[in-house]
């Protein structure tokens, strides 16, 4: 059973658009007012204002004469807005996030409707105070028998309306277990290299959009701030940015898993265990020369998708520490070269002479470092196999499929060496730890 959100575009009628715009405005106003109160309390006497107190304030604000328009919209999104503010403060106090910002009109908004604020009838969504159902473009089907529990309407900067329906999916999506394991190296020259030698470039169509974006941004910079032409130009920029985001996301989904099996690479479908490096993308984009290239790679989203899809489809995702010297280590003898500048794509090991492609060797090493925590060794495999520990990587399993573990145990542990031998024949490079002498 998984909680999943399904996002759809919709095109509101003029009345709906009017009501939704007013709702977004009210949610923003309440959020900003509550944030102002909390900020003031903190600066004046280091006081903290709780969610309950802001909720009581909302009741009193609604009674004020100059704020009586607050009662014209559904009260649930206003309440939810205060809850989101509470979450923002919890995240701030625990050090996970920065201090909450005021919401701005130009960023659109996303009012959230819980069960009491909408009706689900004959597969249609009726929001509170709306007579007609939302004209949703059902680009795919909701899981059969599922009923939305929460609905979020979103108006983006580019002026698009979308709605995401949170449903409880009771289906068992787990795929048939497989034996294949793969290590992934994320890079810029090739976006993704797998330990079985496949590599995938950045999607080229983004370059065209980047040119368009640059022109639009230049044109925006020439407009007078606040003028109508400024607003039009800003919308144009936002639309191109949305398109770039769409293509990135589309490509990432096709690499990880989509229902259509003709996609270029389907990591989740093809592999039982996937090992990735745990990258700090936020820190990496601080390098201005590489920021765009890194953003285009969508690494964070790729790992996020692998994470939740692994859980849905009964696969295993393992993340290894980010400072692991993956491309500098020889997979045959374990020798680690001291320096390996980014422009060197391939190298020969000075110790044993084997030839290595930088990206492929990285993915092989990543796989070797991640494997000790995966299925077989979890049952006490021999210490020689705990290669990852001797490689010095910190390893963290994510979304381990218990059923597969048990199966792996019953079926394969007994003849582990034979299994390893078979894998070796199929892909000589894929199982690095077998060919490495014990030091
Ligand atoms: Zn070597």
pLDDT digits (tens, 9 = 90+) for 79-90: 999 999 999 999
Cross-strand bridge partners of residue 7: 164
Q: What's the confidence (pLDDT) of residue 264?
A: 67
Nearest to 364 by CA among 392, 330, 316: 330
> Given a cut of 90, is residue 63 above it in pLDDT?
yes
CA of 330 to the centre of ligand 1 (A): 5
Q: Residue 259 above 50 pLDDT?
A: yes
Q: What is the mean pLDDT of the chain?
A: 82
Output the CA–CA distances (angstroms, integers) from residue 253 to 93, 169, 346, in the order listed: 34, 20, 30
Lowest mean pLDDT among 48-57, 140-149, 244-253, 259-268: 259-268
Angstrom distance (rounded) from CA 300 to CA 307: 11
Sort 425 into a burial class: Cβ within 10 Å, 0-12 / 13-18 / 19+: exposed
Query: Mean per-residue pLDDT for 178-195?
Result: 86
Task: Identify the pLDDT of residue 388.
Answer: 42
112 is catalytic: no
* Cα–Cα distance for residue pair 147/142, rounded to 1 Å: 9
Say whether 185 is catalytic: yes
What is the DSSP pairing of strand 273-277 with strand 316-320? Answer: parallel
As a whole number of angstroms, the distance between CA 417 and CA 423 comes to 10
pLDDT at site 241: 93
- Proportion of the chain above pLDDT 70, given as a percent: 84
Among 125-129, 151-155, 281-285, 383-387, the minimum mean pLDDT is found in 383-387
Backbone conformation region of residue 67, classed left if phi is above 0, alpha if psi is from -120 to 50, else beta:
alpha
CA of 327 to the centre of ligand 1 (A): 12
pLDDT at site 385: 40
* Other residues' Cβ atoms within 10 Å of the Cβ of residue 47: 11
Range of 171-175, 214-218, 291-295, 321-325 with top mean pLDDT: 214-218
Distance CA 217, CA 66 (A): 39
Average pLDDT of the segment spanning 195-209: 83
Determine whether 250 is an active site residue: no
In the reported structure, the alpha carbon of residue 370 is separated from the centroid of ligand 1 by a whole-number distance in angstroms of 20
Whether 387 contacts 372, CB under 8 Å: yes
- Max distance between CA atoms of the chain, in angstroms, equals 83
pLDDT, one tens digit per residue, over 356-393 is 888 888 888 888 888 865 544 333 333 334 344 445 45
Least confident of 90-99, 192-201, 220-229: 192-201
Distance of CA 383 from the midpoint of ligand 1 (Å): 22
- Residue 97, SS3 per DSSP: coil
Per annotation, catalytic residue among 112, 296, 311, 359: 359
Task: Give the Cα separation of 345 and 343 in Å (integer).
Answer: 6
Instruction: Tell me if 278 sits within 8 A of 247, measured CB to CB.
Output: no
- Residues whose CB is under 5 A from ligand 1 (ion)? 330, 332-333, 335, 349, 351-352
Q: In 3D, which of 268, 255, 272, 280 has the Cα closest to residue 371?
A: 272
What gap in Å lies between CA 352 and CA 65, rounded to an integer?
A: 83
The active-site residue, picked from 112, 185, 311, 431, is 185
pLDDT one-digit tens code per residue, 311-354: 989 999 998 877 777 788 888 888 888 888 878 888 888 888 88
Residue-level pLDDT at 332: 82
DSSP 329-398: B-TTT--B-S---TT--EEE-TTT--EEEHHHHHHHHHHHHHGGGSTGGGGT--GGG-HHHHHT--EEEE
CA of 356 to the centre of ligand 1 (A): 9
User: Is the CB of residue 401 less than 8 Å from the CB of residue 315?
Assistant: yes
**One of 112, 196, 277, 296 is an active-site residue; which one?**
277
pLDDT at 237: 96
Q: What is the model's pLDDT at position 262?
A: 73
| Contact partners, residue 277, CB within 8 Å, separation at least 6 | 184, 185, 186, 319, 320, 321, 322, 324, 326, 366
Rounded to an integer, the average pLDDT of 132-137 is 94
Provide mean pLDDT across the span 168-192: 86
Provide the angle, in degrees to the nearest 10, between the axes of the packed helices 205-222 and 228-256. 160
Residue 87 dihedral angles phi and psi, to the nearest 5°: -60, -40
């Amino acid at each position: 059973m998984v909680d999943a959100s399904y996002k759809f575009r919709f095109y509101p009628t003029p009345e709906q658009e009017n009501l939704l715009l007013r709702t977004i405005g009210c949610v923003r106003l309440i959020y900003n007012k509550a944030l102002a109160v909390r900020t003031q309390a903190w600066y004046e006497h280091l006081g903290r204002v709780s969610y309950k107190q802001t909720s009581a304030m909302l009741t009193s604000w609604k009674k004020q004469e100059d704020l009586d328009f607050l009662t014209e919209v559904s009260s649930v999104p206003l309440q939810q807005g205060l809850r989101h503010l509470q979450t923002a403060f919890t995240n701030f106090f625990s050090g996970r996030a920065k201090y909450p910002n005021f919401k701005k009109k130009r960023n659109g908004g996303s009012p959230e409707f819980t069960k009491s604020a909408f009706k689900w009838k004959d597969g249609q969504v009726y929001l509170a105070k709306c007579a007609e159902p939302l004209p949703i473009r059902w680009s795919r089907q909701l899981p059969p028998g599922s009923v939305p529990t929460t609905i979020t309407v979103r108006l983006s900067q580019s002026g698009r309306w979308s709605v995401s329906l949170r449903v409880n999916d009771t289906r068992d999506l787990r795929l048939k277990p497989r034996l294949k394991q793969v290590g992934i190296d994320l890079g810029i020259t090739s976006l993704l290299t797998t330990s079985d030698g496949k590599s995938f470039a950045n999607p080229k169509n983004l370059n065209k959009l980047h040119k368009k974006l640059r022109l639009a941004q230049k044109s925006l910079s020439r407009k007078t701030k606040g003028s109508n032409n400024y607003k039009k130009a800003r919308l144009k920029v936002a639309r191109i940015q949305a398109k770039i985001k769409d293509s990135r996301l589309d490509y990432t989904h096709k690499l990880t898993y989509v229902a259509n099996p003709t996609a270029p690479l389907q990591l989740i479908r093809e592999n039982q265990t996937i090992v990735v490096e745990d990258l700090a993308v936020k820190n990496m984009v601080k390098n201005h020369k590489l920021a765009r290239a890194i953003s285009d790679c969508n690494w964070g989203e790729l790992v996020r998708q692998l994470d939740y899809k692994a859980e849905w489809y009964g696969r295993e995702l393992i993340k290894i520490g980010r400072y692991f010297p993956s491309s500098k280590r020889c997979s045959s003898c374990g020798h680690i070269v001291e320096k390996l500048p980014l422009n060197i794509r391939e190298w020969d090991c000075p110790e044993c002479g084997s030839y290595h492609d930088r990206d492929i060797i990285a993915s092989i090493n990543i796989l070797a470092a991640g494997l000790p925590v995966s299925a077989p060794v979890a049952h006490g495999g021999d210490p020689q196999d705990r290669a990852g520990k001797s490689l010095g990587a910190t390893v963290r399993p994510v979304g381990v499929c218990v059923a597969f573990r048990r199966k792996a145990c019953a079926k394969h542990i007994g003849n582990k060496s034979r299994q390893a031998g078979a894998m070796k024949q199929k892909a000589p490079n894929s199982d690095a730890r077998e060919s490495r002498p014990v030091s």
